[in-house]
Structure formats: structure tokens, C-alpha cells
Amino acid sequence: MLDTHARKYLQPLIGKTADQLLKLNLTANQVTVAAFIIGVSSGVFILMEMPVTAVLVLWISGFLDAVDGSMARKTASTPFGTVMDVTFDRLVEVSVILGLAFLYPDVMWALLLLSVSIIFSMTVFLTVGAVSEKRGVKSFYYQAGLAERTEGFILFSLMILFSSVLLYTTLLFLFVEVFTGMQRMLEAKRILSDTEGGG
């Protein structure tokens, strides 16, 4: 939701950063890899009990993830770049969940359920993107929803910083992901029904 509605306010900064990195002869794919490496370090910092650092690198990774997309659109995006981008995003999320699970094993069951809900929501998201004829600024149809990447980062940040309420923030994240998955399922039914009707 925030990705869709707040992007226009952050785009000038994202665009300027993209321009600067392009001037340094960096490619979008190189920035994608850098964002991934920085992002997965979040899980390591969680295990080292450095929550503020973990949150900081998580958000830097998220910012660079937006920048690499802007770089790709200013040059030439590649299908493999999209594959890397989506895959690395999930691996960053996995690193955070694993870091929390190993540090707080008493809530591992809730973190496991959260992982399942993310798989559900992303499966719908990616499948609709693959079968839909609609296209947006990205190389596939981007389904907006209650939980987009920014909402996920906010909830991850709360989970990392406030361990005393980790169970409750994890369950909140779980609810948001399931809701988003259902929301995308209903939209998919509408989109694909319209496509079939028009065919």
C-alpha cells in the first residue's frame, strides 16, 4: 500500500541516487547484488544482538532495491534482473526471520507461520504477474495490496527492535500477509475473468 501511494514522494531522491550510481558506471544488477548482501546481513546482526544495526542495514537494502529498479528503467532492464530482484527480496526476508527464530526460539512457531503466509501471498503475486496481460512500470504486472515491501520492513523493524512484543508483532504481520494474499486472490479472479471474457 505504501509502496504504491508514497513512491511519488520518494521518487526524486531515488531517481537522483540512480543517476549518481549510473555516473559511477554501476549497473542495476550490480546494485541489486549490493542490496542483497547488505540486506541479508540484517539476520547476522540480529543474531549478534545488534538490533539497531540490523534495522539500519535492512532499510538501506530496501532503498537500494528501489534505486536499482529506477536504474533499470533509465537504461535497459533485463528479465534476469527481475528474477534476481524478486528472489533476493525474499532471501532478505528469510534472513530476518531466521535471525529472529534462532535468537528467540520460543516464538519460532509464529515465525514459521509468518513464513508460510509470505509464501502464500508471494505465490499469488508472482502467478498473477506471470499470467496477466497487464503491465505496469515494472517488467510484470505489479499487484498492490495491504502489505507491500515498505509495510513488511516496518513490521520487521518493530519485530527486531521490540523483542518483548515479538509474538504480537509477528502475529500482526501474519494477519496482514494472509489478508494481502486473499486481497490479491480476489483481484486476480476479477482481472483474469475480464481477460477471459474479452477473449
Tell whether pTM > 0.95. no
User: With contact defined as beta carbons under 8 Å apart, do 124 and 117 qualify?
Assistant: no
If one counts the domains in the chain, the total is 1
Q: Which structural domain range is residue 61 located in?
A: 2-198
User: What does the pLDDT profile of the chain (199 residues) look like in tens digits?
Assistant: 555 556 677 888 999 999 999 999 999 999 999 999 999 999 999 999 999 999 999 999 999 999 998 898 888 777 888 889 989 999 999 999 999 999 999 999 999 999 999 999 888 888 877 776 654 445 555 556 667 788 999 999 999 999 999 999 999 999 999 999 898 888 878 877 765 555 4
pLDDT at 119: 93
- DSSP code for 75: S
pLDDT at 67: 94
Supply the CATH number for residue 69's domain.
Answer: 1.20.120.1760
Count the neighbouring beta carbons within 10 Å of the beta carbon of residue 65.
22
pLDDT at 1: 54
Closest to 42 (Cα-Cα) out of 82, 111, 98, 117: 98
Residue 124 and residue 106: Cα distance in Å, rounded?
30
Closest to 136 (Cα-Cα) out of 88, 89, 191, 173: 191
pLDDT at 199: 46
Written as one letter, the residue type at 50 is M
pLDDT at 137: 42
Cβ-count burial 166-188 (b if 16+ within 10 Å, e if not) = bbebbeebbebbbebbebbeeeb
Residues 6+ apart with CB under 8 A from 122: 90
pLDDT at 40: 97
pLDDT at 143: 58
